[in-house]
Structure 1
Amino acid sequence: CRLPEALFERLLCQTAIRCEEATNEAWLFHGRIVEMVDGWTLTMADTEENQEEYPQMKSQKPGCGFPMARMIGLFSLATGAINHFAIGPYTGKQTGETSLLRSIFDRLLRGRILLADRYYASFWLLAEGERRGIDLVARAHHLRKIDFRRGLRLGYLDQLVLYPKPQRPKWMSEDEYAQYPDSIFVRHLKYKVTQKGFRTREITLATTLLDADIYTAEELADLYSRRWLVELHIRSLKTQMQMDHLRCKSPQMVRKEIHCHMIGYNLVRCAMLASALKFGLFPTRLSFTGAMQAIEEFASSLRLGSIHPQQQWANLLEVISELTVGNRPGRQEKREIKRRAKNYKLMQCPRNPNRNRYATAA
């Protein structure tokens, strides 16, 4: 493919904008757009070019693994569309999820809310969001000791505390370090999650939404419970869109292949949004897999030309509206796979160019 990489970036941006333009006001959080961030990994064809830019895991011998890349994506909570993403090597300096997020932080528009897990609740991201007018809602970092007997009390297990600026990390320059404030205000709140058949769990959130009268603890707890949707969106990309292992043999083509998967993903989301708006539904209650299968059938019937395209489009939206998923809040499942692995040994040394070395002489 000789098309420039910038063209694919522009197409992905346009599909994300079209999805955002169709957003219903009822799907927002206090009239604000919420974006979810999370990371994942993928593998690609084992070529020298891919290995040079996205090396395989160091624990694997050369020729016995696949090039691996780390990615993060920004998904819209209201529409499920992916707005931006970043990709980098799996290991090495500045290749973590927070580093990738900082590389695309300037693409987040002022006034938005970023929903993330505890890995992103660091001083640097909280302060960066405050500088750019972006609020963060995340689970409190597991290394931070939180004492609700201190700070300004906003309610029961709801407090306002001061985060002092840590020492300058090695990856940050002195000029960048000087741009951050000496301290920031952060709100902590703790709530319990009760589910029948499971032990009661306590979750502590850290957020820059400081006004407890506007953003109540119950609303923030409900907002964070919807963060699980980003895991489902990533699963749709890796499983339904088959983006778990890429086939292209050069890094440039790999990135184009990723863009094509995400453009197709957003186009499916556009059809789901059109169906949700027409029948008064929430997009999160519609099945992505069912919508994708319905679109494939729609494309087949469109090629036959037996029905008028407008009638086919109306039928497609009606079919998508009927393919709903259950509302199962608090659902928990182990990370298990149903398909059994084949009983073959793992490769411990690279393949010999002489592939017939075990053949007996005639």
Structure 2
Amino acid sequence: MGYRLIAVDGSNLALVNTPSLQAHFGGQSNQNSSFVQAKTFYHYDVLNDLVTHACIAPYRTSELTLASHWIEELPVDSIAIYDRYYSTFKMFALHSWQESERKFVIRAKDSLEFVKRFLKTGKVSQVIELAPTQASISGLRQSGFATDSSTRIRIRLVRVELQSTTEVIATNLWQEEGFENDMFGDLYFRRWGVETNISKLKNTMQMESFSGLTVESVEQDFYATVMMSNLHSILIRDAQVQLDRDTSTKKVPPKGQREQILRKIKGKPDSHLFQKQGKGNPQGAHGLFPQGHIAHPKREDRSQGSLRPRIKSASTGPTQTTNRHDKILNLMTLPYRVEWRKDIFSGRWGHQPWQWVTSHG
């Protein structure tokens, strides 16, 4: 089984200070001025460079509220990665108590008592039971889970030693399932991809440059920008398939070319999305790249003896959504995907059987 790595995070979005936007989204103020802002929230597939879920909400909406609300939208075959802001009993429980358990990797806060006790033991890994706080009991009851002071959840703590600090990871990835201690440092580091993508949305995609001053315009531009960013990622990945097969070319399209592609997509997206050449191939996409630098992937016959890890079809994953904007985002999917998987020939990699598979169908 392979896993999608979904980094989760939120960010603030600066809006124009108008009465209608102030009334809907809110913001901050001081003695001299006021600022209108919105809260944005993302599930980001770090291996495929795609936003799988996004939403925009009033500024005072807690990121923890958004995170807990959207846990059920995480694919069943995913590992959700969070920073330490999300290390709460409620978050641990909501992942574990879903009808189909969701796997998580969360950096635990150093100030938590169970983290302090764990660090004092000197152990690299330990499975513990946690009791809820009164706030957790109240929050879980609001989410529909019967909880009291006798409720317990089981999590695993893993020590990750860095050059200047020690991090503690809380997770429900168990060692008996093949998740060794030494893989969590690299796994948690992958979370940084969502930070990079938020920067791309704000700076490269200019998300805060809105086309209108109404609530509807802001929401429309937000989801359109996310969709355009996904389209950009898909076209770059599509070209990479051919580049990977051609050792005489550079492995990654030059930065200037990436920006040129982005300008063309934003300028006339309809010419690349809705004109077709053959079954399922956008006609305009090929014109965005130099001749010979793009090819649509196809499944090739493989011998049974091949040790190359497989790519799971993106169409096999869960597609249920309750948000109309998510249905738009789900259109921007690859005919293949990169996933984190354990090959059945695990001895090939010795003590590191888990690999980030980057080969293409």
Q: Following the alignment from structure 1 to structure 2, what is the Cα–Cα distance between the partners of residues 89 and 174?
A: 20
- 1:89 equivalent in alignment to 2:55: no
| Amino acid aligned to 2:183 | E
Match of 1:148 among 118, 123, 141: 118
Distance 1:309 1:266, change over 3 A: closer
Q: Residue by residue, what CA displacement relative to the aligned partner does 1:236-284 show, whole Å, maximum 9, x if unpaired?
A: 0000000135352111221111011111101101112202223339xx9
| Amino acid aligned to 1:45 | V
1:162 is matched with 129
2:66 is matched with 100
Distance 1:142 1:88, change over 3 A: farther
Distance 1:310 1:138, change over 3 A: closer
- Larger Rg computed on CA atoms: 1
**Helix, strand or coil: the match of 2:160?**
strand
Contact 1:272-1:317 within 8 A present in 2 as well: no
Q: Following the alignment from structure 2 to structure 1, what is the Cα–Cα distance between the partners of residues 266 and 220?
A: 23
Distance 1:218 1:244, change over 3 A: farther
Q: Following the alignment from structure 1 to structure 2, what is the Cα–Cα distance between the partners of residues 142 and 124?
A: 18
| RMSD of aligned alpha carbons | 3.4
* C-alpha deviation, 1:179, in angstroms: 5.7
Structure 1: which 5+ residue stretches go unaligned? 1-29, 195-199, 321-362
Contact 2:243-2:252 within 8 A present in 1 as well: no
User: Aligned runs of 1:1-362 on 2, under 5 Å?
Assistant: 31-59=2-30, 61=32, 64-91=33-60, 95-132=61-98, 133-145=101-113, 146=115, 147-148=117-118, 156-168=123-135, 173=141, 176-178=144-146, 182-194=151-163, 200-211=164-175, 214-280=178-244, 290-296=257-263, 312=287, 315=290, 318=293
TM-score calculated relative to the size of structure 2: 0.66
**What fraction of aligned residue pairs are identical, expressed as a percent?**
20
| Amino acid aligned to 2:54 | F
**Helix, strand or coil: the match of 1:110?**
coil
Q: Following the alignment from structure 2 to structure 1, what is the Cα–Cα distance between the partners of residues 35 and 223?
A: 20
Q: Following the alignment from structure 1 to structure 2, what is the Cα–Cα distance between the partners of residues 309 and 252?
A: 29
**Helix, strand or coil: the match of 2:293?**
helix
How many residues are paired up?
Answer: 272
Q: Following the alignment from structure 2 to structure 1, what is the Cα–Cα distance between the partners of residues 230 and 8?
A: 16
Distance 1:126 1:119, change over 3 A: same
Q: Residue by residue, what CA displacement relative to the aligned partner does 1:64-113 show, whole Å, maximum 9, x if unpaired?
A: 3331111110000211111112222222xxx1111011232221122321
Distance 1:161 1:311, change over 3 A: closer
Q: Residue by residue, what CA displacement relative to the aligned partner does 1:140-190 show, whole Å, maximum 9, x if unpaired?
A: 123312223789x9xx41111111122145556467241689111111111
1:357 is matched with none
Contact 1:243-1:258 within 8 A present in 2 as well: yes
Q: Following the alignment from structure 1 to structure 2, what is the Cα–Cα distance between the partners of residues 69 and 167?
A: 30
TM-score calculated relative to the size of structure 1: 0.66
| Amino acid aligned to 2:4 | I
